[in-house]
Amino acid sequence: MDGYDPTWWQHIFDETYLVTDARTVCCPETTATEINMVEATLDLSPDDRILDLCGGQGRHAIELDGRGYKKITVVDYSQVLLRVGSHDAAKVGCSVHFCRGDASEVGLADGSFDVVMVMGNSFGYFKEDSQNLKVLREICRLLRSGGKLLLDLIHSDYARKQFKPSSWHEANEDVVVCRERELLKEGVLVREIVLSKRRGLVRDVTYFARLFQPKELEALLTESGFQQIDCGGLLVSHPKADDYGLLNKRMLVTACKP
């Protein structure tokens, strides 16, 4: 497989993404299951100021708002997803605030949040851990003292053990999604080809997903200023055993800012 554009994350999350990954990112049942896990893991308070970082169209934030948490901000780089999220939030009358930003330089004030969550494998877009470290340091800056972080990540051991070099599924009656994967030391390189039965080729893009071992994450989080690190959590939000593009089984990581 050829190399990839390291800025892939700046342009892949668009209308096509909402089709190719609809089984996860547009599924209310999956979102509810994941938020059940968030509540159980973090012991949230209704007054918590929560940041859903790399939160896309805000599916988790909108679900949380519906459960009584009214101080939620979604930050994402994708203008398309933010626009969709703002529309979805307005439809149900929720108070989630959406703003555009880069996860490594969000631009909000120090100590703005009690909780930061990064869901759906949205941390680990970079092969170089110096870049991943920048994101963690930014999260630590945004948290108040005693604030909590939750990372929802690919389960590295499961992904390597169950590795499939290729997969495909019909996203809807028109769109077929084909994925070719290459397993590297640092993670998985994925070539995604999206085809329309009516229009032909829709997308051909290669992206990277970092596979972290718990000790690697512990080291990065410690270097970023976090304590009370726990990499032992587990999330399975898809009851079926189909190929969900590395979203089948995930590792939950929590940490606190001292």
Domain-wise residue ranges, the chain: 8-154+213-256
CA nearest to 18, candidates 99, 102, 96, 76: 76
Distance (Å, whole) CA 21 – CA 12: 12
Model confidence pLDDT, tens digit, residues 25-40: 999 999 999 999 999 9
Which H/E stretch holds residue 59? helix 59-66
Tell me the average pLDDT of the chain.
93
Q: Say what the pLDDT of residue 244 is.
A: 47
Burial pattern 136-165, b for ≥16 Cβ within 10 A else e, equals bbbbbbbbeeebbbbbbbbbbebbeeeeee
Q: Say what the pLDDT of residue 241 is.
A: 56
Q: Which fold has domain 8-154+213-256?
A: Rossmann fold (3.40.50)
Model confidence pLDDT, tens digit, residues 54-75: 999 999 999 999 999 999 999 9
Q: Say what the pLDDT of residue 4 is.
A: 80
Q: Say what the pLDDT of residue 245 is.
A: 52
Query: pTM of whole model > 0.95?
Result: no
Residue 250 above 60 pLDDT? Answer: yes
